[in-house]
Homo-oligomer: A and B are copies of this chain.
Amino acid sequence: MNPEIASKIADAVDAAFDRQLEFTHELIQYPSLRGRELAIQDRLLQEMSDRGLATDRWRIDAEDIEDHPGFGPMTVPYDEDFNVVGTYTPPETRGRSLILQGHVDVVPTGPEENWTRPPFETYVQDGWLYGRGAGDMKAGLAANFFAFDAIRAAGYAPAAPVCFQSVVEEESTGNGALSALLRGYTADAVLIPEPEENALVRANVGVIWFTVRVEGKPTHVREMAEGFNAFDATNDVIADLRRLEAEWNARKDEQPDFDRVEHPINFNVGLIKGGDWPSSVPAWCEISVRAAIYPGVPADQAWAEIQEFVRQAAIDRHGSEARLPTLKRSGFFAEGYRLEEDGAAESLLAETHQQVFGAPLETFTTPGYLDGRVYTNYGNMPTLTYGPRSLDIHAFDERVHVESVRNITKTIALFIAQWCELDPLP
């Protein structure tokens, strides 16, 4: 594109960057944990409205989405789960349309005393902005808006529709993104600035969440040698799952994008709960498991394999079906996705990235869930998951690299400018 216009847009990002940072602080300060996403969504709706976008706000309704193969079973009510979308429509469309997506939900903080400062009190230190959600993905949410602003500050407007989508539940089901797709939002490309180390996601795994519950006959502790111990039985199941995980990792060479990923398939036992009384041998125990699956493997096929493996292992161990654990789906039920190589959107992103970073765009494969699977697998839209450097997302002292956010914002702005094309502002 015209280097003068490009440079005007980049300068506009710089000029507004202090305000962008301030807004990012503000977004992080919303403790938008699962089920507590309403306040920030209404704040973002206001942002959309202030920018003159046509707004849409709706509650995620399970009835609308539960028959879709990409639906993840809900384990919490969705009373306060609203998506908000703001759409910019040019007077006349010349370029290609674009969805800029972000999710507002953040994962739990864990014990707050393990944070250097409270997780929702933001601060910048040594070039990093700290806070739960800083990287994943409040910085990206803010970048979407400020990239758009920069184009207008430079005196232009996109010549194709740009749709700002702020969704919920990315961290537990992906039902927020699915609901947006099924509401009818489509475009010629989707860009999601998740924290991806200034790189583009080529492929990612699918994710299934499930619970495993074991139950047995407890006893008074004075006869504990005779009783069933649910914690021991749970450790047996965890060992079974580890074996299946190893089997799946051994299949990585069949996967075009995963052969260089050391351990693509992680089974994580993230929650455990069991027993009723210190002096009773525990009668039950339940774990929540997150399992990854290769892109191309349907979730129901993987799920059937997990269930059968655990079942058969229990039968082998006990010699009967007497002690079968109960497995239930409890969230993500998502296939992975793969971004096809050398598409137009990717080529353009590579170009704008090179312009801003002075280095080629790298692509990589990531072993974590991404909403990109919704738009890629079910919307047939090229989806660019591409965003800033971060550290310790999902951990303590999560942080995002401030200069990386600045550059990512410039790349997005230049991408909008060329993907959508530009009209001069009147």
Contacts and interface: CB of A to CB of B under 8 A. Distances in A.
Interface in A324-360: 330-331
B110 A219 contact: no
A279 interface: yes
A110 B272 contact: no
Given A290-B221, A392-B219, A396-B218, A277 B270 contact: yes
Nearest to A268: B221
A271 interface: yes
A3 interface: no
Given A280-B108, A283-B111, A284-B111, A221 B394 contact: yes
A303 interface: no
A368 B111 contact: no
A61 to B, nearest CB: 24
B270 A368 contact: no
B110 A284 contact: yes
Given A279-B369, A368-B221, A369-B279, A285 B268 contact: no
A269 B231 contact: yes
A171 interface: yes
A366 B221 CA distance: 11
Contacts of A141: none
Nearest to A330: B278
Interface string A262-281: 11001011111111111111
Interface string A239-254: 0000000000000000
A171 B222 contact: no
Most buried by B among A220, A272, A284: A220
A209 B279 CA distance: 8
Contact of A277 (B107, B219, B367): B107
Contact of A275 (B270, B276, B393): B270
Interface in A109-167: 109-111, 114
B368 A278 contact: no
Interface residues of A, number: 58
A207 interface: yes
Contact of A331 (B110, B278, B331): B278
B284 A270 contact: no
Contacts of A100: none
A78 to B, nearest CB: 18
Interface string A158-199: 000000000000011000000000000000000000000000
A110 B270 contact: no
A220 B277 contact: no
Contacts of A301: none
Nearest to A393: B220
A-B interface, 3 closest residue pairs, ranked by CB to CB distance from nearest:
A220-B394, A270-B278, A108-B276
22 contacts: A108-B277, A110-B280, A110-B283, A111-B283, A114-B217, A114-B283, A171-B277, A209-B278, A218-B394, A219-B395, A220-B394, A220-B395, A224-B266, A231-B272, A235-B235, A270-B277, A272-B274, A273-B273, A278-B288, A279-B290, A279-B394, A280-B394
